Amino acid sequence: MDAIQDHYPDELAHCFGCGRLNEHGHHLRSSWNGEASEARFTPRPYDTALPGFVHGGLLASLVDCHGTGTAAVAAYRAEGRGWETAPAHRFVTASLRVDFLKPTPLGPELLLTGRVRSISGRKVVVEVAVTVGGTTTVRGEVVAVEMPESMRPPSRSTPAG
């Protein structure tokens, strides 16, 4: 399924959590099911907190990237255009909250679901749930803001000389 991260511009696609061009990263991919965003991730055996449970830092990382991805989806939708159109939306996180409702068992695939709570100007608030085997183990909230120009890498299309 098509994912928002597939459409991040190359120069903004190196995030460890969700950048397709980060060869060491998690490559999280967030799609849109018509009502909410979804992403799936299967932790590796060493992504552990206490034995048998998923590392909270990994869960926070997945919530974060799925939240900013969902914010970008929401921004395109608010403008009535597809994520394959320019200019590209790319969000960063201003604030992240993660509530660990119960331990997340290590092994099965995790499902992340994102719902847009509000859009105002450059700010999008996204609620993310992590479920495993039908049980929600984590709830998160991501306050995402459109990437400031000060974070934009130098464009590769600028003539070198």
Residues in touch with its own copies (CB under 8 A): 11-12, 14-17, 19, 22-25, 44, 46-53, 55-58, 60-62, 64-65, 90, 92-100, 103, 147, 150-153
Q: What would the two tokens of residue 120 be?
A: 């105002």
Q: Torsion angle, CA of 55/99/31/33, rounded to 10 degrees?
A: 140
Determine the Cα–Cα distance for residues 28 and 69; give it in Å rounded to an integer.
Answer: 10
The residue (of 103 and 111) whose beta carbon lies closer to its own copies is 103
Tell me the closest approach of the beta carbon of residue 79 to its own copies, in angstroms: 22
Tell me the closest approach of the beta carbon of residue 23 to its own copies, in angstroms: 7
Tell me the closest approach of the beta carbon of residue 56 to its own copies, in angstroms: 5
Tell me the closest approach of the beta carbon of residue 97 to its own copies, in angstroms: 5
The residue (of 33 and 150) whose beta carbon lies closer to its own copies is 150
The residue (of 15 and 116) whose beta carbon lies closer to its own copies is 15
Q: Which of 10, 110, 128, 25 is nearest to 69 (CA)?
A: 128
The residue (of 33 and 155) whose beta carbon lies closer to its own copies is 155
Tell me the closest approach of the beta carbon of residue 34 to its own copies, in angstroms: 27
Report the chain's C-alpha Rg in angstroms.
16
20 three-class SS:
coil
Determine the Cα–Cα distance for residues 93 and 114; give it in Å rounded to an integer.
Answer: 15
* Residues 144/71, Cβ–Cβ less than 8 Å: yes
Amino acid identity at 3? A
The residue (of 98 and 124) whose beta carbon lies closer to its own copies is 98
Q: What would the two tokens of residue 156 be?
A: 């590769």
